Structure 1
Amino acid sequence: MSARALLWAAFAVVHVAVAAFGWFLPNQPMGDVYLVYEPWARAAASGSAVVGITETFVYPHLALLPMLAALGLSWVGGYIVAWAIVVTALDAVAFALLLGDGRSAGRTVAGWFWMAYLALLGPVAIYRIDAVTVPLAVAGLLLLARRPRIAAALLSVGMWIKVWPVALLAAAFVALRRRLEVLGTALAVSAAVVLLVVSAGGAAHLAGFIGAQTGRGLQLEAPVSTVYLWRAVFGVEGSFIFYDPDILTFQVTGPGVDTVIALMTPVLMAGVVGIVLVGAVKARRGASFLRLFPPLALALVLVLIVTNKVGSPQFQTWLIAPLVLWLVLDRRRAAAPAVLAGIVAALTQAIYPMVYGGLLGAQFLPVLLLTLRNATEIALLVVVLVRLVGVPVPTRRREAGHVPLPTS
């Protein structure tokens, strides 16, 4: 069996296994699909309520499209099975683009990493809206250097499903010479979405997803929530976990929590701006796109995770695309970040869905696992920032003859 055929076999096994795990593991790892996505899709299909048009949507407006697609396929075996089919089909297209003719060692390594990562992360790698954005991001990054307009269109569509691909667009704008093509395409896609929403009567809810996110409290899995979690573990008065029915998530509270909530968005923005400035300086000084873009993109994605008020387990899917590209371009330098990311994924699945009930009860072992996961995320961000700062720029003597790295 060829390496390419073996990878496709792994693709099939991993997707079937991870999809099946959703049926057997505890704590409803498929809950968002049948409790949230399916009702939204059925309401939109019946015309009774269309999220993002007739009422505020927690996600950007295009997120409804894959939900409707799964509804259209629900005759196959129900909505949950249909959702898994939609995600697997999208992954297959991006996976085929990644593998190509199967002769690139870098692409082969990246393919194995992607499949291993899905297995380590578990059902949330499929049964969340974020799963739809992963193949769009992988395909977009693979096409970025050669087809920046197509790449930017894919990333922009992903951004209008779940916001996080904006980090990849920002990295592309900084590191790519054809940045105006990226910017123009992103603006064109966004304008088309806005026009569609407004013409459908959804102007009042156009920016609803932004307000829904900025107004959130501290979700218990976010790194910033760790101190409050440990206070809850040891029964310190005033610190506890509670359920917010408005946004369907568990949060923490305690002394000074309102101040922390208010600070987190500025902290996130400061982190993003700082990383963008480092990347811009490197690009200005002539750093190679192949050396600069992967750590820049991964750093921006990680800062969105580490400084976020929300720490949902599916956020770890965001790491797949930048790491896949980095392994394709420079697997030696990407190896350590990929290993750390794999540890993050494994710890995430150990927490959710395996011991999530204990986490909600502020039990010692689940909180310890979450603390280790969050600490590993922070360590990964530090490693990537070191890589980013260390990206070489040509000296004046060598600038004219600078040669980029090979792509495999």
Structure 2
Amino acid sequence: MRRRSATHVVVLWCAFVAVHVAVAIAGWMYPSQPMGDVVLVYEPWATSALNGGPVVGVTQTWVYPQLALVPMLLAKMMSLPLVATMGASGAYLVAWATLVTVLDALAFASLTGRSASSQCRAGAWFWVAALLLLGPIAMYRIDAIAVPLAVVGGLWLTRRPAVAAALLTIGAWVKIWPAALVFAAVVASRHRMRVLVTAAAVTAGILLALLLCGADSEIFGFLTAQTGRGLQIEAVAATPFLWAAVAGAASIEYSFEILTFQIVAPGAEPVAAALTPLMIVLVVAVTGVGAIKAMRGASFSRLFPPLAHSLVLALIVMNKVGSPQFATWVIAPVILWFVLDRARAGVPSATVLALCALTCVVYPLTYDALLRADLLPVVILTVRNLLLVSALVVGIRALIRVPTTTTTATRE
């Protein structure tokens, strides 16, 4: 049995390597520049910071939390020996893909381990499949850095809660969404105070370091910079307006300030303005349901997965941004669902795999046609967005059905 498990792990690692290589290469071959952000945005930001120019998040307001600059700088330094043979852009792309693969490998090792359970192996297979279906966008975005941090942090919540909280908090300072896992841990874990204190201490340390580096009004720029942006075409709430664009009653325009395509149509601005308050309401409501379940004695293994899953999806479904890399956000909660409660991970995992596949079809495979508001990509994106809503409903339904000691005692 142990030998069979070891063989399974070896096969898993072969699949992990093969998929990362295939996805990395696909980025060079697919249309619509799926690696564009890496070379057109990340590399110039890193170069500016290293050469004494403006430092995003420190000397000028930035759309990302400040720790997102760290992997960009690491990739830049890793790329330097390759510049002479590949050029600056090619070298940076290779360095970025290598960095993402190394971080994923560290998290994959934590997941599979020497004595990986069947639950962990199932989660690992899901991760490999999700990466393959999502394609280059799963690697060539800053969101890819937060995924392994979230996976390891989630795996360690029961054994090393302080370290787990630190990793999740660092992940949230790279891209905000891992904060949803911190909230879920504070609600569901019996180590909630240790998680909360650690998250607060790490955040305080980061803020102090930023202040010492000269940041002041820019510290929370990643929050304020989002307030004025419009409704991005791939956002769930943009779906009706996309159909209006198909009919010629709306248009798609590029925002040079935010570097994204947005909907221009009557009613789009009020919808965009309403989404953030609605997101807050939904997050509070989902957290409230989780808190009630925790107070009534729900176990961590049953409560944490659907709570984390629902909170992350709330951030996506109620977001006025709908970037394709958002699909990476739901990968970590489902991996943890497999590990903690495999019996109930089937429907969420199937939904997420379908989301990944459809997201790849939308971007980058049919994105040019989507920008023209052609019918086929609009239909595909509509189905993808309906799946996002369905995934949120699945998560909330599972959360509501989490058993508690109170309900068990009542049944007895």
Pick aligned residue for 1:81 from 94, 108, 114? 94
Summarize the Cα distance change of 1:215–1:255 in structure 2 as closer, same or farther, 3 Å threshold. same
Pick aligned residue for 2:293 from 268, 278, 282? 282
Pick aligned residue for 2:377 from 348, 360, 366? 366
Pick aligned residue for 2:24 from 19, 25, 37? 19
Conserved in 1, the CA contact under 8 Å of 2:48 and 2:55?
yes
For 1:372, give the aligned amino acid.
V
**TM-score scaled to structure 2, two decimals?**
0.95
Pick aligned residue for 1:127 from 125, 133, 140? 140
TM-aligned CA deviation for residue 164 of structure 1: 0.6
Q: Does 1:310 align with 2:315?
A: no
User: Take 1:97 and 1:397, find their aligned partners in 2: how far apart are those partners?
Assistant: 34
User: Take 1:396 and 1:154, find their aligned partners in 2: how far apart are those partners?
Assistant: 34
- Other-structure match for 1:215: 228
User: Take 1:44 and 1:147, find their aligned partners in 2: how far apart are those partners?
Assistant: 35
- Other-structure match for 1:248: 259
User: Take 1:378 and 1:168, find their aligned partners in 2: how far apart are those partners?
Assistant: 19
User: Take 2:10 and 2:35, find their aligned partners in 1: how far apart are those partners?
Assistant: 30
Instruction: Write the deviation string for residues 1-37 of structure 1: whole angstroms up to 9, x where unpaired.
Output: 8001000100100000000000000000000000000
User: Take 1:23 and 1:193, find their aligned partners in 2: how far apart are those partners?
Assistant: 35
For 2:201, give the aligned amino acid.
A
| DSSP 3-state at the match of 2:330 | helix
- Other-structure match for 1:405: none
TM-aligned CA deviation for residue 163 of structure 1: 0.6
Pick aligned residue for 2:282 from 253, 259, 271? 271
Q: Does 1:181 align with 2:194?
A: yes
TM-aligned CA deviation for residue 215 of structure 1: 2.0
Conserved in 2, the CA contact under 8 Å of 1:225 and 1:252?
yes
Q: Does 1:97 align with 2:110?
A: yes
User: Take 2:115 and 2:242, find their aligned partners in 1: how far apart are those partners?
Assistant: 47
Conserved in 2, the CA contact under 8 Å of 1:3 and 1:102?
no
Correspondence 1:7-406 to 2 at 5 A: 7-74=12-79, 75-76=81-82, 78-236=91-249, 239-395=250-406, 398=409
User: Take 2:9 and 2:39, find their aligned partners in 1: how far apart are those partners?
Assistant: 35
TM-aligned CA deviation for residue 397 of structure 1: 7.5
User: Take 2:266 and 2:26, find their aligned partners in 1: how far apart are those partners?
Assistant: 39
For 1:151, give the aligned amino acid.
A
Q: How many residues were matched structurally?
A: 398
TM-aligned CA deviation for residue 214 of structure 1: 2.3
User: Take 1:106 and 1:398, find their aligned partners in 2: how far apart are those partners?
Assistant: 29
User: Take 2:406 and 2:193, find their aligned partners in 1: how far apart are those partners?
Assistant: 26
Contiguous gaps of at least 5 residues in structure 2? 1-5
Compare 205-214 and 125-134 and name the one that shifted more: 205-214
Summarize the Cα distance change of 1:183–1:103 in structure 2 as closer, same or farther, 3 Å threshold. closer
User: Take 1:291 and 1:331, find their aligned partners in 2: how far apart are those partners?
Assistant: 10
For 1:324, give the aligned amino acid.
I
Instruction: Write the deviation string for residues 42-101 of structure 1: whole angstroms up to 9, x where unpaired.
Output: 000001111111111110000000000000110245000000011000000000000012
Summarize the Cα distance change of 1:369–1:201 in structure 2 as closer, same or farther, 3 Å threshold. same
Instruction: Write the deviation string for residues 388-407 of structure 1: whole angstroms up to 9, x where unpaired.
Output: 000011137759xx9xxxxx
TM-aligned CA deviation for residue 103 of structure 1: 3.8
Q: Which runs of 4+ in 1 moved over 4 A?
A: 396-399
Conserved in 2, the CA contact under 8 Å of 1:173 and 1:183?
yes
**TM-score scaled to structure 1, two decimals?**
0.96
User: Take 1:217 and 1:331, find their aligned partners in 2: how far apart are those partners?
Assistant: 39
For 1:346, give the aligned amino acid.
A
User: Take 1:396 and 1:250, find their aligned partners in 2: how far apart are those partners?
Assistant: 48
User: RMSD between aligned alpha carbons?
Assistant: 1.3
Summarize the Cα distance change of 1:119–1:102 in structure 2 as closer, same or farther, 3 Å threshold. farther
- Other-structure match for 1:5: 10
User: Take 1:396 and 1:313, find their aligned partners in 2: how far apart are those partners?
Assistant: 40
TM-aligned CA deviation for residue 102 of structure 1: 4.1
| DSSP 3-state at the match of 1:250 | strand
| DSSP 3-state at the match of 1:214 | coil
Conserved in 1, the CA contact under 8 Å of 2:231 and 2:269?
no
| DSSP 3-state at the match of 2:34 | coil
User: Take 1:124 and 1:102, find their aligned partners in 2: how far apart are those partners?
Assistant: 32
Summarize the Cα distance change of 1:283–1:397 in structure 2 as closer, same or farther, 3 Å threshold. closer
User: Take 1:68 and 1:94, find their aligned partners in 2: how far apart are those partners?
Assistant: 21
Instruction: Write the deviation string for residues 151-176 of structure 1: whole angstroms up to 9, x where unpaired.
Output: 00000000101111110000001111
For 2:128, give the aligned amino acid.
M
User: Take 2:92 and 2:239, find their aligned partners in 1: how far apart are those partners?
Assistant: 35
| DSSP 3-state at the match of 1:380 | helix
For 2:23, give the aligned amino acid.
V
